[in-house]
Each structure stands twice: as structure tokens, then as C-alpha cells.
Structure 1
């Protein structure tokens, strides 16, 4: 296999956009990221985060040993042909089918009709060419012409991806015709009804519009269960494949878990011992511990451990080894909620620094606490991916089949850490309970529940599972309003601001809060612009602006009249014009939203939580 270096992406993109099984659109070609069993694990830096590692093991199995960053290229490598310069994530060309931009020839890249021209000193110029092309009419002098990837693929909800069945599609099924195919356009626009495929030998032709919709699926073969990133075919697949465009956003959705690095129950040393347990596990004496701690200090592998004496570290190790300090970590957000709402915030943990500030004027009746997080660290781990439909938040693993990251069960998974700042707002749970008991709110919740049931029923899922609740919907919608408003003033773009919603009311929990934060890959974090806007005067002004701006949507009255119970959708009065945010910002895929729960709308003015403030 060729190891020519053909391009670069940011490490964080390997988690959110271009992970295993995802397509990467390079300047002149398209490639697919291969499974993690082909990544160079020895070049991957380990990330220490015990809570996340425990949660990943519950999903992927106890064989998971570490969370690792993607392999990094040595920036000091001068020659593009050196061994250090070739370190990275392996990819291969996909789709296999290419199209000549001059004559329209449609054929796989390994058919012998196309040639890969490598350019190690200018990786962006690496490309496939159709040698000795004579143009669409065959009357031009022979000349190399660029070949680009065919723009149609087949995908299914089980995560399978395949080349579009061009021969099957053109000939209406299995055919013995071995003629070359041509892709051509018949109109001025690039709409599918103007795109055609024709066989040179039998002159069979078909319009690409016939490949889409319900009728199009009847003209396509069954899913072959192909995982091109693993070079594997599953034995069977019951999902119906559908045609998608190359580069479409529904071609790859990450299934991930994320946690904030916080000390459990405020015990910073205990958390550090858990994070670095792989180093401490075989420690049998203080002398050995001294060597381990010195190594951790010199390599900065466990920041914060230098603040504690050896005797205290040894005691913490003994407590953790005995099992007295372990706890159920199935709920990733519960420990975060405990720390964020504690009477005293931890001050000795290197990845967490916050302070409590006053509540903005006019919001004292509905808010209980505002915390400015001047320093925070978020760690994300990739579990797998889906295609066609994004995974549903809170619905468990059965919401959508998750495609594997490697051929066999992995002993590690890709992860990434970011550092930043945030604003945490805790709301009065009693006020939310009183609001949820109002008849207009119950009527709106009934529509959201019916929409949720219908959405899951159409996908053969348990319609009674996965509903996040009316409290979550209100807090989630408010978080979106804040993200959109803060992006106008804080200096960060909206796609880099994220949310965490704390609205769990099951098993005696009474969470009611939102965390709006931004983070960067740099260890120094971000610039402090978001925290500054969380001060009482600024936050109160921004909240009022956000609520006022959301009252009228550019898509009204259609937006405010949207009824999820009729079209079986997962959101009410919400759309891109008023409350949707970037996929990287929302933890629920822009689902479970309804601005009528937050502010009065043209259609519903009685269910708003902030009715009196607007």
C-alpha cells in the first residue's frame, strides 16, 4: 500500500468530522479514513481521564485500556519523504469510481483506465488522471485529463457505505454488458434530473433523479453490508440503502462520550490518582512511588500531582486500591453537577477553576446560582459512528446501529482534550416544577411526546424510551438562545461554543442547569471573553436580548405553528432562523427544542417560562 502523504487535517477533526469510516474531500481526490487497527498506536499520546475511560468500557467492553490522541506528524520533519513526515492517519481512495472531467468516462480507479499522479512535495496536487483522453466528442488530441470522484454513493443506517451500483442502475439490474459508462449533463443546472449515465455499448441510459426518493430505492440493489474503512463485508444487512451525495453531511455522524475533568466529590487528589492509576497500579512502596512521581513531574504527564506530599499520595493510592473510593460512574453528568453546585468549588485541581458571582438583576426569582469557570478541560472519546441519521441523545445504543472503529474489538479508542472557559447557570427547580404543572405547558409537552413516539415508531424503536422531558426541552432551547447571542459579543464563532444540559429528574435527582462553554486544543485554553460576559451586568443584558430576539422568528408564522405531533418530528417551534445551532455546539442534534417553552410566540403565549420577564 502506498504511504504517500496527501494532506492534513486538525486532530480534533478526526473525532468530529473525519474519523474512521468518514470521507475526506482533498483538493483533487476523495479518501476514506481507515480503521484504528491500522493506525500507529505507538505514535498516539495517552489521555488520562478515569471517568471517561470507565464509561467507554461500559459501551465498548472491558478490553479498552487507554484513551489515545490520534498519531501526530513530526512538525520538525523537513523532507516529505522521511519516515517522520509519513506519520499520520492512514487513508485510501474512496469511492472507487472516478469520472473524467472531459469525456465523462465512469470507471473504478483500479480498472487500468486511470493513473495516480503523486506529488510528495506538493501533496495537494496528488490526483488521478485519465491518460490520453480525447474529450467528450473524441476529436481532441490525446491529453491527460483530471479524474474526479463520482459524486453518488450508497449508505444505510447500519453504517455501511458502498460505491453507487452504476452498472446495475443503468441496465436495470444484473447485466452481462461490459461496456464503458459515461456520465454527462443535459441541462444548464446540476440538478439530478439533468444528470445522466449512459452505456457506450448498449446505449442504455438513466437519469440520476431516478435514484432518489422511494421509487429510487426500488431501483437499487440490497445493501451488501460493506465497511470500506475495514475492507470488510458484513454477512447480512436488513437496512434499506439510499443514494447520498459525496460530501453530504449525513454520510458520517460521530457517536461519542464527553466529560468535564473535575475532582470527584471535590477530592482533587483522589481524582488525580484515578487519572494516573496505570502508573500507580503496581506501586508497592514509598521508594517506588517517589520514582514514579518524579517521572510524572518531569514529563508533565499528570499535572497537579506535584502539589501533594508522597505520604498523602500513598494514602490515596491505598484507599483507591481497597475500593473504598470507587463509585458508579454510569451517569457522566451527575458528578459534574455535584461539583458545580457544591458550597465550595475545588481550588486545587489543575483543570478546574471557577468562582461564584451574583445573579443578574431581574432573574433572582428563577436563578439560584451563576458560576464563572475560568478554566475547564473537556475530554471526548469516539465510540463509533452512524450514517444517514444522527444518533439520538439519551436513547441508548439501540437508537441507531453503531458502526465499528476496527476489525476486532479495540483495546483503545481515539480521544481528544480541549481547554477553555464557561458559564454555569443553575435555575430554581421548584419554579420549574410549578411551571411544568401548568395546563398550557402540559398541552405542549403532549405534542412533543407524540412527535417523539412517532419518530421512534417509524424507525422500529421503542416509542416509550428516550424522551428527555419538558424541563430539558426548555433549558435546551434557552441554551441555544444564549449560544447565538453570546457569539455576537464574545469574540468566538457560534460553532466553537458548546452546551451541557443538566436536567435529570429521575431516581430522586433534581437537576436544573446549563453550562455554556468554549474550548480550544491549546493547553492555555481560550481568551476569557466568554467568562467576562458571565458577570451579572453583562449576563443580564445578554439574557434579555436573547429572549427578546427569539420572540419573533424570520420564518414565522410557519415556525411558531409547527406541530411535532403531526409530522412526527423531535422539535416544536424551532428552526434554523431562530434556535438551531451548529452540530458541534448541540449535544442533542438540534432535537427536543421549542421556543414556546421559553418565550411567548405568535401561536402560543401561555406556556413560556419567561413570560413575565419578556
Structure 2
């Protein structure tokens, strides 16, 4: 395929969450894999400024990471499909290599010459491969081109590798000298794997695809070759067991992201905050003349809003103050710490248009449990893609084990893809003394042991350190409440449930944290419509909290849901399921893990551990 053949479109934000480097994009007529970022056009990727997140990325990927950058995209609608602007985008390549003719069932790699590319510049999504001169399944004398579609079976492993399905090896039961062409056909009315067959034309060997899965798959599939198709490389000596996966399956690519809220300095001036936010532009300025040019360029790009209110001399002085200051790099473990300090501050600083907040009264009924509510009229979140996993989703915690993370470039990256979203939110801070009294109760410590047993079993099954990264019972309670509130808010605020996200503050260290932030995270103006902030006012929030807790007492899946023991099946949740507590994966920072309704309200199985017992 030519490097300049357009094959479709996706939104820039999807290149971080759904179709990033190493992910498969299942288009209407073909399947492609997104190439590593070392093949992207860096000059077309606009930088995003967020110093705290950049430092967090460097903690994981190394100090060579210079910047966070948006994926390349065309700002205007392209009229001339042959223009240079029409070629702006992210490079991809066809994957899997094996294609199947829809007429005769021929199964072959596209680069052997049996299939040809039929390009459609005016409708890129209709670009497709065809089987040239196909005579049909019955060998008709009249040859005609037939559509060729991707073979829908692949191999993936927990090490992040992805490979073509070993069709020759599979149908011949191992290595074979047979060079015959293969055919894929169906033997029944349904598309169950036992009705899908692959056959060799030369030796007539055949095998059902049912033998590619489960225990039979472990016996009939070769070892992992360590392939990274997005990087054109193979890793040596992969010891993970490959598994057959279907094209389009969600477990073929899970992003690993870091995110940070753009928060202002606790004691800084508006001008110093602007200097920090755009330090990459100001760092190399040597005199006032060069400074004026930099400020003019920022205004032209509609960046550094508010800087026009300051004289050049004041800006120059702020730059010198920043250079002479003692600003230390933010440690990765501190990514939520500075956010907590700002959100829990009696008078949070403002940074228009990225951070605007208003304290409101706590709903009267919940004042013994909740100490503060803060409405965030404007907030900005920056997300960075640092890698991905396959087969199993990663733990979204900051301290997660990253040994299975697959790379997004062949060499250590000098930049990573990032996106920024604007929105609004509600921050709820809980009473620390009430939480400590609750954590000391016997019924709560018993549930803590139950969740910890499930945590250890889950990690042991994956050969990870058993006691590492357990978030604690405080986190599980706050996390569950956040899920219940998200479900309630989605019914009333007008936002799509998947566009509402959570951020849990539950560290119990030198500065104990106990709060939840529920916010919208939309990549356009839809995230700042005001519907969520309105529901954070006392009269509305009190009603929503009451409704959420009432619904949590009984689940439609009870008593099975309330009786669920994570220690028995080595899972990471107790009394929680899709019917009562789970939310969209885009909304949850932990993949619907560490949830238990019994930590909030009485359930059929546990009646004494609820933080809101009696409400």
C-alpha cells in the first residue's frame, strides 16, 4: 500500500483512547494498525503545555521526553483530495496481512500478489482489497474481481505482542513442507467457531477454528514470536502464551494513560501562572525585543489568554523570577497531591480559563459526613498516552506495575501523544474524623480483609507482587460512591454517561486525602454546558445523594450481588455489578475495580459497615 493512500478518518482524541499506536482500526472494507509515533509527522503535532504531567511521563518513560503533543489533524475541510493537506494524518498499514476472498474463500497474505488494492480517493473509507480474477467457489469460467476482507483471527499475548494467525501451522498440525493455498469456509448456518473451517487445497488437510481456543488452542498454536506490527520489529524470547483473538475484540488493545488537571499555583499571581503554563515558549527568550515577538506569536495562536494585560517589562520580570526560583520537578507519585491541595484549599486560586471554582454549602442532611463542596465552573484535563497492553487491561493506578506495557515507538520516545479536554465538575470533600471513626469499626476492617484477599488472589494469578498497589478500604468506599453519583447525574444533567469521569483522592499519608471529583471530559464545548455544576448546588446534590444511596441498598441481582465474595473467584470487587454500580470504562479510573455497596449502605449480606448507615 502506498504511504499516501487515505483509508478513513478518526477523531484526534480516539488516537489516545481507542486507536492509538499498536491498535487495530476495523474499517468497513479493511483493517489497519496504527504505526508507532516515530513514523508520525512530529512537526504537524501541536504541543500541549502541562508541566506536571510532562514530569510524570518522564518518571515512566525517561528524561528524554521533551514534550506532549496532539495527534496531527487537518483544521479545515479538505476540498482537493490530491492536495498536500489531504495527506495530513497518522500512518497506518494493513493488518492482519492475511485476507479472505468473499467469493471463493481464498486465504492468503495480501503481499503475495493474489490481492490488489482498489483505491478510492473521494471516499477513503471505501478503499479495499480485491481478489483479482476470482472464478468463484465453483470455479466458473468467467473471472471477475471479488472483494477481499481481513481474516478475522489473530494471535495476541499478555506481553503486548500481536501477530497474524498461523494458518499454515494450524491447518497442518505443526510445521509442514506443504505449500498449497488455503481456503476458509463455513459448514453450518451459525457462525460458531466449530462451523468455521480452514482447508489446504494441496493436501486436503482441514481443521475447525474451534481448535484455536481454550485448552485445544494451547496445544495447536505455536509460541509467541514477539511481534510488534506497529513498529516493524520482533522482541526476542517472549515467554507469554499466545491466545487466539478476534479482529475487533476489545482485549486486543488497552491504552495506558496518565492524566493531570491543569491547576493554578497555590500562592502564585496570574502572570506567574501564565509563565509556568507556557514556559516552553519563554524559556529561551533573551531580551525584551525577542519577548515581544514571543508574546505576539502566542496571541496569534490564541494562547496565554490574559497576558495582553501586562507590559513587556512586567512579563520579563516574571520570567526572571521563574528562572531564579526553586521550582522542583513534580514527582510521579505527587500527581494528585498538588490537585488535592488546591481543591481542599479554603480559597482556591483561579486561572482563567483553565480553572474557576465556587464553594457552596454542604447539603444539610450530610454535614456530619461531608465537610465541603466545591463547584468547578471551568477545568482542563490533559491526558498522555505512554503505552498499551493486550489481552488484559491494566490497573489505572499511578503506581501500577508496567512490566507488560508495550512501547509506542521503536526507540525511547522524545514526545508522547496527548490531548486536552475542557469541562466542569463537582468536588466533594469528606470529614476526616468521620472517616477515621468509620475505618476503625470491626465490620469495616472485616470487609477490608475480604477485598484484600481478592486483591491478592487476582495479583497472584498474574504472577505479580501480592500486596502491592492495594488502594485501601477508604478508596473502595469513595470509589463506590463516585460510581453511584455518576449513574444518578447521568440521568439528570444531560450529558452522556460515558462523558462523565471520576477522580478519587484517598491517599492516607502525611496529608490525608478524602474526596471525589466528578467532572465532564469532552474534547469540545459540550463539556462546559453548565448542567453538572447546577446539580452540585445543595438542594440538588442532597437529593441526588439520597437517591443514589437508596438505590444502592437493593440491587436487581440480589442476593447474588450482595453475597459476592472476591476471595473465592479472585476478583477485585465485592457487592457490585452492572446492575447497580458499574459505569462505562471511560468514566472509571480503575476499570470497575475496588467497589462494594456494603461500604456505603446496609445490604442483605453486610448491614453494619456502611459509611452512610442510617441515612
What is the TM-score when the length of structure 2 is the normalising length? 0.96
**Residue 534 of structure 1: CA displacement?**
0.9
From 356, 360, 376, give the equivalent of 2:359. 356
CA distance in 2, matches of 1:427, 1:176: 69
**Equivalent residue number for residue 97 of structure 2:** 96
CA distance in 1, matches of 2:212, 2:596: 35
Change (3 A) 1:290 1:132: closer
Gaps (5+ residues) in structure 1?
A: none
CA distance in 2, matches of 1:4, 1:517: 39
Whether the 8 Å CA contact 2:456–2:466 is kept in 1: the answer is: yes
Change (3 A) 1:525 1:593: closer
CA distance in 1, matches of 2:150, 2:403: 28
Whether the 8 Å CA contact 1:132–1:143 is kept in 2: the answer is: yes
From 571, 595, 605, give the equivalent of 1:569. 571
Gaps (5+ residues) in structure 2?
A: none
**Residue 351 of structure 1: CA displacement?**
0.5
Write the deviation string for residues 290-344 of structure 1: whole angstroms up to 9, x where unpaired: 3332332233232233344444433432332224233534311111111111111
Change (3 A) 1:54 1:32: same
Change (3 A) 1:397 1:551: closer
**Residue 106 of structure 1: CA displacement?**
1.2
CA distance in 1, matches of 2:19, 2:351: 36
Write the deviation string for residues 335-359 of structure 1: whole angstroms up to 9, x where unpaired: 1111111111223442001100111
**Equivalent residue number for residue 286 of structure 2:** 284
**Equivalent residue number for residue 337 of structure 2:** 334
**Residue 582 of structure 1: CA displacement?**
1.1
CA distance in 1, matches of 2:265, 2:325: 14
**Residue 140 of structure 1: CA displacement?**
7.4
**Equivalent residue number for residue 412 of structure 1:** 415
CA distance in 2, matches of 1:44, 1:190: 43
Is it true that 1:231 corresponds to 2:232 in the alignment?
A: yes
Whether the 8 Å CA contact 1:73–1:86 is kept in 2: the answer is: no
**Equivalent residue number for residue 177 of structure 1:** 178
**Equivalent residue number for residue 422 of structure 1:** 425
Change (3 A) 1:399 1:55: closer
CA distance in 1, matches of 2:419, 2:578: 29
CA distance in 1, matches of 2:146, 2:296: 60
**Equivalent residue number for residue 386 of structure 1:** 389
CA distance in 2, matches of 1:63, 1:275: 20
Change (3 A) 1:351 1:520: same
Whether the 8 Å CA contact 1:263–1:270 is kept in 2: the answer is: no
**Residue 146 of structure 1: CA displacement?**
1.3
From 372, 385, 398, give the equivalent of 1:369. 372
**Residue 264 of structure 1: CA displacement?**
2.5
Whether the 8 Å CA contact 2:56–2:330 is kept in 1: the answer is: no
CA distance in 1, matches of 2:295, 2:76: 30
**Equivalent residue number for residue 554 of structure 2:** 552
**Equivalent residue number for residue 436 of structure 1:** 439
Is it true that 1:516 corresponds to 2:518 in the alignment?
A: yes
**Equivalent residue number for residue 27 of structure 2:** 26
**Residue 498 of structure 1: CA displacement?**
0.5
**SS of residue in 2 equivalent to 1:264:** coil
Whether the 8 Å CA contact 2:186–2:197 is kept in 1: the answer is: yes
CA distance in 2, matches of 1:560, 1:395: 29
CA distance in 1, matches of 2:307, 2:177: 70
Change (3 A) 1:204 1:374: same
**SS of residue in 2 equivalent to 1:106:** strand
**SS of residue in 1 equivalent to 2:112:** coil
Whether the 8 Å CA contact 1:392–1:399 is kept in 2: the answer is: no
Change (3 A) 1:313 1:112: same
**SS of residue in 2 equivalent to 1:265:** coil
**SS of residue in 2 equivalent to 1:565:** helix
Q: Structure 1 residues 17-26 or 175-184, which shifts more?
A: 175-184
**Equivalent residue number for residue 491 of structure 2:** 488
Q: Structure 1 residues 397-406 or 565-574, which shifts more?
A: 397-406
**Residue 287 of structure 1: CA displacement?**
4.3
Number of residue-to-residue matches in the alignment: 612
Spell out the pairing of 1:236-247 with structure 2 (5 A cutoff): 236-247=237-248
**Equivalent residue number for residue 70 of structure 1:** 71
What is the TM-score when the length of structure 1 is the normalising length? 0.96
**Equivalent residue number for residue 466 of structure 2:** 463
**Residue 131 of structure 1: CA displacement?**
2.2
**Residue 525 of structure 1: CA displacement?**
4.4
**SS of residue in 2 equivalent to 1:520:** coil
**Equivalent residue number for residue 209 of structure 2:** 208
Spell out the pairing of 1:42-81 with structure 2 (5 A cutoff): 42-81=43-82
Alignment RMSD: 1.7
Whether the 8 Å CA contact 1:374–1:421 is kept in 2: the answer is: yes
CA distance in 2, matches of 1:545, 1:400: 42
Spell out the pairing of 1:235-274 with structure 2 (5 A cutoff): 235-267=236-268, 268-274=270-276
